[in-house]
């Protein structure tokens, strides 16, 4: 009887060691997987950080170019013959007609868009932010003002899912 009991205990110990080794291999595989995930996440963070810094630099260069271009066009307008004439000799209509005929680019539109997305660091209470022109920026402003997704969708004439996606990819 004791022999059977000892044999049973021995078999149970062997089975216990077997399960312990199985658990140990599972845990080590899980630890290795966790290490790989951490490494991938750090690589992803580094690449996204590099991308964002490049994007920020590119936006700053764009803003500098737009500002320079805007200054150059203003100085060109001041040096034009219409502004060189005596103020009494030129009526407001002719000055306006000369400025209307000059082609313009959407510099102010770009500045407003950047202002709406807070790239320039403007506050939401600024008047330029309130006068945003694209639906995406309007959705952000309305959401920041505390409107629900349904209200934003009604005001913009868009679907609820589309507004959710716009806000999700802010």
Per-residue pLDDT of the chain (170 residues; tens, 9 = 90+): 889 999 999 999 999 999 999 999 999 999 999 999 999 999 999 999 999 999 999 999 998 888 888 788 777 666 655 554 544 444 555 555 544 444 454 556 666 666 666 543 444 444 444 455 688 888 989 999 999 999 999 999 888 888 888 898 87
Q: Please give the full DSSP string across the chain, using - where no structure is assigned.
A: -HHHHHHHHHHHHHHHHHHHHHHHHHHHHHHHHHHHHHHHHHHHHHHHHHHHHHHHHHHHHHHHHHHHHHHHHHHHHHTSHHHHS-TTTS-HHHHHHHHHHS---THHHHHHHHHHTTSS---TTSHHHHT--SHHHHHHHHHHTT--HHHHHHHHT--HHHHHHHHHT-
How does pLDDT run across 86-136, given as a tens digit for each residue? 444 445 555 555 444 444 545 566 666 666 665 434 444 444 444 556 888
Domain-by-domain residue ranges, the chain?
45-105, 106-170
Could you tell me the pTM of the whole model?
Answer: 0.35
Matching CATH number, 106-170, of 3.30.1300, 1.10.10, 3.40.50, 1.10.730: 1.10.10
């Amino acid at each position: 009887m004791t022999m059977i009991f000892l044999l049973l205990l021995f078999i149970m110990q062997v089975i216990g060691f077997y399960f312990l080794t199985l658990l140990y291999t599972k845990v080590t595989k899980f630890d290795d997987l966790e290490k790989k995930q951490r490494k991938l996440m750090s690589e992803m963070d580094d690449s996204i950080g590099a991308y964002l810094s490049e994007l920020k630099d590119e936006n700053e260069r764009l803003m500098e170019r737009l500002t320079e271009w805007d200054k150059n066009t203003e100085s060109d307008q001041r040096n034009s013959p219409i502004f060189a004439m005596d103020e009494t000799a030129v009526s407001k209509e002719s000055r306006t007609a000369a400025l209307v005929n000059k082609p313009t680019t959407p510099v102010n539109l770009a500045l407003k868009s950047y202002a709406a997305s807070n790239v320039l660091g403007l506050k939401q209470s600024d008047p330029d932010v309130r006068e945003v022109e694209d639906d995406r920026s309007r959705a952000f402003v309305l959401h920041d003002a505390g409107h629900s997704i349904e209200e934003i969708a009604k005001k913009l004439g868009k679907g609820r899912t589309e507004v959710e996606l716009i806000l999700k990819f802010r």
